[in-house]
Amino acid sequence: MIAPVSKPLVFWQRHYRHIIYVLVFLCVLLPMFLPVKLRVNVSPPTRNVFNAVDTLAAARHDAITNLEAMIAATTNRTGIARLKERLDRLRMNTNGVLMLSCDFAPDTAPELEPMAVAILRHAFARNVRVLALTPSTVTGVQLAEKIIGVAARQSTNLYSARVDGRDYLFLGFRPNMFQLLMAMGENISHAYVTDNAGRDLATQPFMRGIQNYNDIDLIVSITGYTGVPEMWIQVAHTRNKRPLGFGFTAVGVTDYYPYLHSKQIIGLLAGLRGAAEYEIASGLPDAACGRMFSQFCSHLLVIVLVIVGNIEFIYYRRRTR
């Protein structure tokens, strides 16, 4: 490269890194002082997850109706007994059961925590029972516990706050995620044995209506780790035919569009924008919406930097010719 001629250019070339760092920091910090809450349009993948959580009671009602019809049509005595057992379990949670897998740790929490809180608040508002777990990462257990506790305490309705053991249960972490998911396909209580608080699942009233995936109406996994959604799709969707939704960090979300197209997953929340869309859809703009203005300014900075970089590139290419 030919040496630049002007002093500002020399200064820029020597210190552009630090100037960009300062600009990035300001683009993130300064918008936080301005009370601007940007509205984002809810994209179809996010809308699908929202609608699925919103209609869990209807899904449970359909499942009960279908099972009753199946029982009426079955003549095999053993088959009828098993179906009736399942019907009794389904009738224990008529508002539906959501399994929320919080597969994230502090490194991806700023993106995924708002998603988890938004989904939990929506589920609690619909009186859906929530079975939460953290099967993939041990460092996410306390984070998930805190999120669920906060969402439960915020979700007061006319009668009471959401109570652990009655409205939700947090199972925590167990090693070897794929084997754990496979074991949960048979019996969740046998796979986990105790919940995160150390209580025996076999004696928990919450688990009387939940034996395995067949008693769960929707599974939503919120994660930033590649490989985790693939395990969920293999076990929960391919093997057990349960509807599956994901929240993923924006880094890897482009990889999961084929599953969306093939309807192996019903919907996909993409990073902080996905969290903001979910908050808008549920009518409770919160942390994610508040951070979108910082995102907006940072994105504009990136675009400006790319344009400036290309102008510089074209300028120097012309000078060398």
Burial bucket for residue 208 (CB in 10 Å: 0-12, 13-18, 19+): middle
Residue numbers 247-266 binding another protein by CB under 8 A = 249-251, 253-258, 260-262, 264
Residue 178 lies near another protein (rule: CB under 8 A) = yes
CB nearer another protein, residue 93 or residue 295? 295
Smallest distance from another protein to CB 269, Å? 12
CB nearer another protein, residue 58 or residue 79? 79
Residue 103's φ and ψ, nearest 5 degrees, are -90, 55
Neighbours of 266 (CB within 10 A): 20
On whether the CB atoms of residues 117 and 150 are closer than 8 A, the answer is: yes
List the one residue from 47, 64, 71, 149 that touches another protein (CB under 8 A): 149
Q: Is 3 helix (H, G, I), strand (E, B) or coil?
A: coil
List the one residue from 196, 221, 223, 282 that touches another protein (CB under 8 A): 196
List the one residue from 195, 215, 217, 279 that touches another protein (CB under 8 A): 195
Residue 241 lies near another protein (rule: CB under 8 A) = no
Q: Using CB under 8 A as the criterion, what x/- string covers residues 17-56 for binding another protein?
A: xx-xx-xxx--xx--x-----xxxx-xx------------
Q: Count the site residues for another protein by CB under 8 A.
A: 106
On whether the CB atoms of residues 224 and 104 are closer than 8 A, the answer is: yes
Q: Using CB under 8 A as the criterion, what x/- string covers residues 64-103 for binding another protein?
A: ----------------------------------------
List the one residue from 62, 85, 88, 230 that touches another protein (CB under 8 A): 230
CB nearer another protein, residue 41 or residue 75? 41
Residue 12 lies near another protein (rule: CB under 8 A) = no
Q: Is 104 helix (H, G, I), strand (E, B) or coil?
A: coil
- Rounded to an integer, what distance in angstroms lies between the CA atom of residue 246 and that of residue 253? 10
Burial 268-285 (b: 16+ CB within 10 A, else e): bbbbbbbbbbbbbbbeeb
List the one residue from 92, 95, 110, 125 that touches another protein (CB under 8 A): 110
List the one residue from 190, 226, 227, 319 that touches another protein (CB under 8 A): 190
Helices (H), the chain: 7-29, 44-54, 56-73, 77-91, 109-125, 141-154, 177-184, 188-192, 228-232, 257-261, 271-281, 287-320
Which position has the token pair 């076990």? 235
